[in-house]
Chain A
Amino acid sequence: MNTQKSLLLILRNPSFAGSNNRDTLDIALGCSVFDIPVSLLFLNDAVFQLLNNQESQVIEQKDLSPTLKALDMYDIQDHYILEKDLQRYQLEDEALLLNCKTLTDSQLALFIRQFDIVINL
């Protein structure tokens, strides 16, 4: 019998705005060590986290791109973004750091419902 619970982590913050996104990724990596299946949803301003060419050194901070690129190694490959957020910020043609599946507005609620646990920092 499979008692494994499925986990969704929701990121909502842009780059360099607090430690919530980094904490969320730490949870993701931790779960993967215990073979808990994790999906990531980059909601709203969090899509900016996925932009290439972030030059965090000019403001003497660290961006999350190295961690994001390492997710694949931890078998965390289910990443989701909303089509609406890409349109709002005109990022439709942008090459993002992660290979994300796109959800429409109407799919969001059903998508969230299918998970056993949702962490939304």
Chain B
Amino acid sequence: MPTTTKTTLHIINKTTTNARLYQDCCDSMLEGDELLLIESAVYAGCEQNFHSAIPTSFPIYALEVDVAARGLTDKLNKEIQLIDDNQFVNLCCIHHKSISWF
């Protein structure tokens, strides 16, 4: 099986104050991989230096309820796509595996 089909969903739940966590996660991403921000990680979408805080060009998602709970609904960077729980499950299913960066 070619490795290109074995894509990964990377999940972070900490703020960008944990800079090494973001660096390590993004360094571990390959073509086809996607990044999901949950819990405290959704605050990353407020970063002024968004691209240096989340150094990846792959798709970035954030869990809608976690964004609303934190009062960030109209503050997030436009590059982040909001998803609900069903889409979360779907992302987990379409990727070969998920990796938690907690």
Contact = CB atoms under 8 A, between A and B. Distances in A.
Interface residues of B, number: 18
Nearest to A56: B69
B75 interface: yes
Contact of B48 (A52, A58, A63, A90): A90
B43 A89 contact: yes
Interface residues of A, number: 22
Query: Looking at chain A's contact residues, is the secondary structure mostly helix, strand, loop, or mixed?
Result: loop
A65 to B, nearest CB: 9
A59 B15 contact: no
Contact of A54 (B40, B48, B49, B71): B71
Contact of B15 (A45, A63, A91): A45
Nearest to A18: B40
Given A44-B17, A45-B15, A88-B48, A16 B43 contact: no
Interface of A: 14-17, 44-45, 48, 51-56, 58-59, 61, 63, 87-91
